[in-house]
C-alpha cells in the first residue's frame, strides 16, 4: 500500500485538547472480567455471543477460514495476528468480538450497561475506514471514525457516544496516535479498550514493503491505553514480517498467529514481455478481447491511467481511469459503476482496490511492474473472489524498470540533508532546554529547506523518537488560520472586548476575501494561552460569524532525554540515519528484482509466490499447471533495449541548468527524472526539458558523472542564459559510450 494524501490525519487542533482531557476525566469504573468465570461457562458464553453477533448482526451462517479460532482467542482475552488473503474476512475477526464483548458481559453479568468498552481500529486510509463504518452503521452497529474529514459536530457526537458507552467500534488513522489529547481520551474510555485492531499490520515491519513510521508507535500506544488485547491483521506478510508483528505486540507466534494460505487455485498467473510499451499495447487489447469481464489494469502513474483508458476506449472497450488525484464524488461514482457493471475496465493506480469488494472481477492486469511481490499478491487477490477462474496478466518491458528505480532512489536523502534537519532540531537553544519541554518544527519548511521528501522526513523523526528516544511527537498545532467572514463578523469582533477577542482583532489581516491570522504572533504579543484564542475563534465559527480553516501545521515534540549538543554527536546520528535510508533503497531495488524473478525464472509462478509467503500449493502439488511457466515451459524473457551511449549534450544541459556543485545526487536526479522538493519548488525544473532527459541511462552512471562534476566544479560549465529545451535536443546522443555497467545496471541490465 502506497502512502497517499488520504493518510494525512492531523485531525483536531490543540484547541480540542482541553475538551479531550476534560472528557478523559469521566470516571472509569472498576471492572470484573468474564475470565473470572469457570472456564467451561466462559467458553460457552463466548461461543454463544460470537454466534449471535455473526448471525444476528452480520446475517452470516458460519465462520470461514480460521475466523472462529481467531475470535475464540480474542474473546478469551489473548492477542492474535491474522494473515488471511484479501477478501478472506479479516474484518469480522474484530467486528464480531466488538459486539460479542457486550453480549458476553451481559450473559455473564460481569459488567453494567454502558461499561462494555470499545474496539479501537487503527487503519491507514480514511476511505477504507469510512466504507467500514458506513457498512456497520447500515447494520445498526454503533461505529464512528475520528478523522480530519469530520466536522466538529460529528466529532462531538462521537465523544457523546463514548461518554454514554454506546459506541462499539471507533476507527482512527495511525497519525492520530501522535495526538496527546487522543491518547488521554483513549486511556479513560468508559469500559476501556477491549480490543485494539491494527489493520494493514505489515506496515509495522521495517522488513515489509509498506513500512510506515507511525505504525511503529502503535505498540507503545497499546500499552499506554491499557488495551486488553490486540489483533493485528494483514493480507500480505512474509514469515519474517509475521514474526516481526508478533514480536512487536508480544503475541505468542505458536498459538496466536493465524495464517491461511495465500495460494488461490482459481487465479491463473500469466506474464508476457516486450521491448517497449508500444509493443505491449496490442497484446493488452488482444488479451482483453479474448477475456471479457470486469477488469482492473494497474499502472504506476496517474497520467498513464488517463492515457491508457483513452486508448482502450478508442479500441471499443468500456474503460475508465481511476487515481488518487480525482475528486471524492467522482471516485465514489466510478466505484459504484464498477460494482454494477459486468464489463467495465478500470485503469488505475494502486489507489483503486482497497475496500472494493466485488466478487466477480475476472482479470487483474499489471501494465507496469508492481512495487513488490506483496503488492502484486494483494492486487491480484482482488480477482475471482467468487472462486471462478480469473486471469492475472503481468506485462513487463524494460522501460518500466526506470519507473521503479525512480521510486526506489527518490527517498534516499543526502547526508547533507539529514545533517541540515538535525542541526535545525538540535540548535544550541533547543539542546539547552530541560527534558519535558516542547519543540516545534514545520515539516513543510524542512522538506523544502533541506530537499527531503515528506515520508523520509517523517521517518527521521520516527527514528529519533523510537530508536534513539530523544524526542516524542505530540499533538501538532496549527500556527496559521484563515477564515471567510460571515455577515455579522465585524460587529461581533468589535463588540467582543475579551482578551482573546482583542488579540484576534489585533492580528487578523484581511486579504481579498479571506482573513489570515498568525497564531504564534498573537500568542507572543498577547501573552494569552493558545487555547484561549483558539476557543474564541472556534466560538465565532460555531456561531456562524466566520468559517475557520487551519493552515500551517507545526509538528510538536517533547524532549525525552538529553539531546546531542556537539557536532560529532550529531554526525554519529547522521551516519546512523543515512545507513538506514541506504538500506531501504537497496531493499526497494531488491523487491523489483524479486518481482521480475517470479516471472523470469524457470519455475511455477504460483508455487514461487506461495513460497515467498511461507506457503505452498494445495495437496502437495509441485506445480499449478496453469501459469505461463506451467503451460509453455518457457521462461519469460526480460527484453531490454540496447544500451545507449552516454549522452554528453543532455548531461551538459543538466549542468547548465543547475549552478550548485555541492549535491551530486541532485544533478543525477534531475537527469534521471527523480523529483524532490528542491527540484520542484526552488529550481522549478520538474517540467523543464532537462528533467528526466537521461531517463534511459543508468542512474549510477549519472551519479558518477555528477560526482566528477562536483569534485571539479571549475571545469563544469557556467550557467548560460536559459534557452528553451526540446526533448529531441536533450535526448540526442553523443558517440562516447556509457561507462561500465554497474550493479544497478546488472539489475536493470542496461539503459533503455
Ligand atoms: N464467515 C463469513 N461468511 C460469509 N461472508 C463472509 C464471512 N466473513 C467475511 N465475509 C464477507 O467476505 C467479504 C470480505 O471480507 P473482508 O472485507 O472482511 O475481507 P478482508 O480480509 O478484510 O479483505 P481485504 O484484505 O481486501 O481488506 C465481505 O463481503 C464479508 O462480508
pLDDT of residue 259: 92
Least confident of 100-109, 346-355, 617-626, 725-734: 725-734
> Does residue 743 carry a pLDDT above 70?
no
Q: Is the pLDDT of residue 469 over 90?
A: yes
Tell me how far apart the alpha carbons of residues 298 and 377 are, in angstroms, rounded to a whole number: 13
User: Across residues 325-345, what is the average pLDDT?
Assistant: 90
Residue with cell 501545521: 553
ipTM above 0.85, yes or no: yes
The residue that leads in pLDDT, 311 or 104, is: 311
Segment 457-460 long-range contacts (CB within 8 Å, at least 24 positions apart): 457/421, 458/213, 458/214, 459/213, 459/581, 460/418, 460/421, 460/422, 460/577
| Nearest CA among 189, 192, 223 for reference residue 24 | 189
pLDDT of residue 479: 80
Q: How far apart are CA 360 and CA 539, in angstroms?
A: 51
User: Would you call 505 exposed, middle or buried from its count of C-beta atoms within 10 A (0-12, 13-18, 19+)?
Assistant: middle
Q: How far apart are CA 705 and CA 667, in angstroms?
A: 9
DSSP single-letter state for residue 202: G
Q: Which residue has the cell 471499443?
A: 316
Nearest one of 372, 341, 387 to 87, comparing CA atoms: 387
424 beta partners: none
Q: How confident is the model at residue 551 (pLDDT cuts 50, 70, 90)?
A: confident
Superfamily of domain 14-24+34-259: P-loop containing nucleotide triphosphate hydrolases (3.40.50.300)
- Compute the distance from residue 335 Cα to the ligand 1 centre, in Å: 18
**Cα-to-centroid distance, 92 and ligand 1 (Å):** 7
Q: Per-residue confidence at 389, pLDDT binned at 50, 70, 90?
A: very high
What CA dihedral angle connects 150, 151, 156 and 162, to 10 degrees? Answer: -10
CA of 119 to the centre of ligand 1 (A): 18
Q: Atom 24 of ligand 1 has which residue's CA nearest to it? A: 86
Give bridge partners of residue 197 from the DSSP assignment.
121, 231
Q: Kindly state the average pLDDT of the residues 388-409.
A: 91
Residue 7 confidence (pLDDT) above 50? no
* Nearest partner of 293 among 263, 338, 335, 336, judged by Cα: 338
- Eight-state DSSP code of residue 707: H
d(CA 192, CA 111): 12
Cα(339)–Cα(516) distance, rounded to whole angstroms? Answer: 44
Report how far residue 393's alpha carbon sits from residue 286's, in angstroms, rounded to the nearest whole number.
12
pLDDT in tens, 59-70: 998 998 899 999
Rounded CA separation 242/259 (Å)? 9
pLDDT at 32 over 70: no
> Residue 352 C-alpha to ligand 1 middle, in angstroms?
18
Question: Which atom of ligand 1 lies nearest, measured to the CA of 84?
Answer: 21
Give nearest CA residue, ligand 1 atom 23: 87
* 239-263 mean pLDDT: 93
SS3 content of the chain, % helix, strand, coil (to 5): 50, 15, 40
> What's the rounded Cα separation, in Å, for the pair 516 and 533?
14
> Which percentage of the chain shows pLDDT scores above 70?
89
With a threshold of 0.80, does the pTM exceed it?
Answer: no
Residue 666 to residue 413: CA distance in whole angstroms: 10
Nearest Cα neighbor of 375 from 613, 175, 93 is 613
Given pLDDT bands bounded at 50, 70 and 90, which one contains residue 110?
confident
Centre of ligand 1 to C-alpha 91, Å, is 6
Least confident of 278-282, 381-385, 419-423, 549-553: 549-553
**Quick one: residue 414, left, alpha or beta (phi over 0 = left, psi -120 to 50 = alpha)?**
beta
**Percentage of the residues of the chain whose pLDDT score is greater than 90:** 56
Helix 373-380 with 605-612: angle, nearest 10 deg: 110
Determine the atom of ligand 1 nearest the C-alpha atom of 353. 26
Q: Calculate mean pLDDT across residues 75-82.
A: 94
Q: What is the pLDDT of residue 30?
A: 44
pLDDT of 83 over the 60 cut: yes
- The answer to whether residue 614 scores a pLDDT higher than 60 is yes
User: What angle, 0 to 180 degrees and rounded to 10, lies between the N-to-C axes of helices 373-380 and 567-600?
Assistant: 50
Residue listed under C-alpha cell 505489515: 202
Domain boundary assignment for the chain: 14-24+34-259, 267-406+587-632, 450-553, 644-750
Mean pLDDT across the chain, nearest whole number? 85
How much distance in Å is there from the Cα of 19 to the middle of ligand 1?
37
* DSSP-derived 3-state class of residue 60: coil
| Cell (9 digits) for 68 | 472462529
**Ligand 1 centroid distance, CA of 257 (Å):** 19
**Whose Cα sits closest to atom 12 in ligand 1?**
89
Say if residue 652 is exposed, middle or buried (CB neighbours under 10 Å; 0-12, 13-18, 19+): middle
Q: 391 near 289, Cβ under 8 Å?
A: no
- Residue with the three cell numbers 531517463: 695
Give me the mean pLDDT over the 45-69 stretch: 88
Q: For the ranges 67-76, 436-445, 640-649, 688-697, which has the lowest average pLDDT?
A: 640-649
* Fold match, 14-24+34-259 / 267-406+587-632: yes
Task: Write out the three cell numbers for 503.
Answer: 488579540
Least confident range of 161-170, 179-188, 218-227, 385-394: 179-188
For 248-329, where are the E strands, in sequence order?
257-259, 267-274, 295-298, 319-322
- From CA 354, how far away is CA 343, in angstroms rounded? 20
Question: For residue 670, what are the contacts with CB-CB under 8 A and spacing of at least 6?
Answer: 654, 657, 658, 679, 683, 685, 690, 691
Pick the CATH number of 267-406+587-632 from 3.40.50.800, 3.30.499.10, 2.40.240.20, 3.40.50.300: 3.40.50.300
Nearest in space to 124 (alpha carbons), one of 57, 210, 17: 210
* For ligand 1, atom 14: residue with the closest CA: 87
Residues within a 6 A CB radius of ligand 1: 60, 63-64, 67, 84, 86-92, 235, 357
HSE-up of residue 462 (Cα within 13 Å, Cβ side): 23
Instruction: Write the CA distances from 113 to 102, 107, 108, 116, 164, integer angstroms.
Output: 8, 12, 12, 7, 10
Is the pLDDT at 750 greater than 70? The verdict is no
Over range 592-614, report the average pLDDT: 95
pLDDT at 181: 82
How many residues can be counted in the chain?
Answer: 752
Output the CA angle 643-647-649, nearest 5 degrees: 165
Report the b/e string of 379-405 with b at 16+ CB within 10 A.
Answer: bbbbbbbeeeebbbbbbbbbbbbbbbb
Assign 488 to helix, strand or coil.
coil
Amino acid at each position: 500500500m502506497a502512502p497517499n494524501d488520504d493518510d494525512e490525519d492531523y485531525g483536531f487542533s490543540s484547541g480540542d485538547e482541553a475538551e479531550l482531557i476534560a472528557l478523559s476525566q469521566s470516571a472509569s469504573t472498576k471492572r470484573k472480567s468474564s475470565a473470572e468465570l469457570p472456564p467451561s461457562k466462559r467458553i460457552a458464553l463466548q461461543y454463544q455471543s460470537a454466534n449471535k453477533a455473526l448471525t444476528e448482526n452480520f446475517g452470516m451462517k458460519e465462520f470461514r477460514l480460521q475466523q472462529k479460532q481467531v475470535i475464540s482467542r480474542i474473546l478469551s482475552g489473548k492477542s492474535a495476528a491474522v494473515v488471511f488473503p484479501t477478501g478472506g474476512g479479516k474484518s469480522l475477526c474484530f467486528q464480531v468480538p466488538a459486539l460479542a464483548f457486550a453480549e458476553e458481559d451481559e450473559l455473564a453479568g460481569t459488567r453494567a450497561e454502558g461499561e462494555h468498552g470499545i474496539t479501537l481500529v487503527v487503519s491507514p486510509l480514511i476511505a477504507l475506514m469510512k466504507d467500514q463504518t458506513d457498512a456497520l452503521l447500515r447494520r445498526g452497529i454503533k461505529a464512528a471514525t475520528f478523522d480530519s474529514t469530520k466536522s466538529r459536530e460529528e466529532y462531538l457526537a462521537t465523544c457523546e457516544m463514548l461518554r454514554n458507552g454506546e459506541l462499539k467500534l471507533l476507527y482512527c488513522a495511525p497519525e492520530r496516535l501522535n495526538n496527546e489529547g487522543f491518547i488521554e481520551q483513549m486511556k479513560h474510555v468508559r469500559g476501556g479498550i477491549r480490543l485494539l485492531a491494527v489493520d494493514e499490520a505489515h506496515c509495522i515491519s521495517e522488513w515489509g514493503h509498506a513500512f510506515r513510521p507511525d505504525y511503529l508507535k502503535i505498540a507503545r500506544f497499546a500499552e499506554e491505553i491499557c488495551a486488553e488485547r490486540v489483533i493485528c491483521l494483514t493480507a500480505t506478510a512474509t514469515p519474517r514480517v509475521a514474526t516481526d508483528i508478533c514480536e512487536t505486540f508480544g503475541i505468542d507466534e505458536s498459538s496466536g498467529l493465524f495464517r491461511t494460505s495465500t495460494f488461490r487455485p482459481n487465479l491463473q498467473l500469466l506474464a508476457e514481455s516486450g521491448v517497449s510499451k508500444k509493443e505491449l499495447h496490442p497484446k493488452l487489447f488482444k488479451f482483453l478481447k479474448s477475456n471479457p469481464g470486469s477488469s482492473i489494469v494497474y499502472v504506476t502513474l496517474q497520467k498513464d491511467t488517463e492515457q491508457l483508458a483513452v486508448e482502450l476506449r478508442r479500441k471499443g472497450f468500456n474503460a475508465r481511469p481511476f487515481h488518487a488525484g480525482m475528486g471524492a464524488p467522482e471516485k465514489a461514482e466510478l466505484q459504484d459503476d464498477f460494482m454494477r457493471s459486468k464489463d467495465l475496465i478500470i485503469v488505475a493506480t494502486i489507489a483503486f482496490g482497497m475496500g472494493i469488494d466485488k466478487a466477480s472481477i475476472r482479470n487483474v492486469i499489471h501494465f507496469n511492474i508492481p512495487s513488490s511481490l506483496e503488492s502484486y499478491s494483494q492486487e491480484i487477490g482482488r480477482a475471482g473472489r467468487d472462486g471462478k477462474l480469473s486471469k492475472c496478466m503481468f506485462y513487463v518491458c524494460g522501460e518500466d524498470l526506470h519507473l521503479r528505480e525512480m521510486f526506489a532512489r527518490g527517498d534516499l536523502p543526502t547526508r547533507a540533508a539529514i545533517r541540515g534537519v538535525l542541526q535545525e532540531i538540535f540548535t544550541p537553544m533547543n539542546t539547552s532546554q530541560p527534558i519535558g519541554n516542547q519543540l516545534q518544527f514545520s515539516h513543510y519548511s524542512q522538506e523544502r529547506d533541506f530537499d527531503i521528501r515528506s515520508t523520509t522526513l517523517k521517518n527521521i523523526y520516527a527514528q529519533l523518537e523510537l530508536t534513539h528516544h530523544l524526542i516524542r511527537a505530540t499533538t501538532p498545532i496549527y500556527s496559521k488560520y484563515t477564515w471567510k467572514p460571515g455577515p455579522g463578523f465585524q460587529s461581533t469582533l468589535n463588540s467582543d472586548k475579551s482578551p482573546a477577542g482583542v488579540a484576534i482583532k489585533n492580528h487578523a489581516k484581511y486579504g481579498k476575501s479571506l482573513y489570515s491570522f498568525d497564531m504564534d504572533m498573537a500568542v507572543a504579543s498577547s501573552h494569552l494561552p493558545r487555547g484561549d484564542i483558539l476557543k474564541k475563534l472556534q466560538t465565532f465559527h460555531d456561531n456562524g460569524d466566520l468559517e475557520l480553516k487551519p493552515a500551517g501545521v507545526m509538528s510538536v515534540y517533547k524532549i525525552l532525554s538529553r539531546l546531542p549538543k556537539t557536532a560529532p554527536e550529531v554526525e554519529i546520528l547522521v551516519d546512523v540515519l543515512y545507513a538506514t535510508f541506504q538500506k531501504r533503497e537497496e531493499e526497494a531495488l531488491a523487491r523489483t528484482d524479486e518481482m521480475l524473478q517470479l516471472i523470469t525464472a524457470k519455475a511455477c509462478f504460483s508455487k514461487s509466490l506461495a513460497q515467498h509467503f511461507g506457503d505452498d500449493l494445495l495437496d502437495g502439488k509441485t506445480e499449478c499447471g496453469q501459469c505461463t511457466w506451467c503451460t509453455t515451459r518457457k521462461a519469460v524473457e526480460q527484453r531490454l533495449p540496447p544500451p545507449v551511449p552516454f549522452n554528453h549534450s543532455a548531461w551538459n544541459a543538466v549542468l547548465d541548468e543547475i549552478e550548485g556543485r555541492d549535491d551530486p545526487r541532485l544533478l543525477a536526479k534531475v537527469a534521471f527524472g527523480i523529483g524532490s522538493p528542491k527540484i520542484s519548488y526552488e529550481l522549478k525544473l520538474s517540467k523543464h526539458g532537462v528533467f528526466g532527459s537521461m531517463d534511459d541511462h543508468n542512474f549510477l552512471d549519472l551519479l558518477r558523472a555528477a560526482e566528477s562534476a562536483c569534485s571539479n566544479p571549475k571545469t563544469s560549465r557556467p550557467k548560460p542564459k536559459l534557452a528553451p529545451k526540446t526533448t529531441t535536443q536533450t535526448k540526442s546522443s553523443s558517440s562516447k559510450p556509457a561507462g561500465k555497467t554497474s550493479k544497478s545496471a546488472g539489475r536493470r541490465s542496461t539503459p533503455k
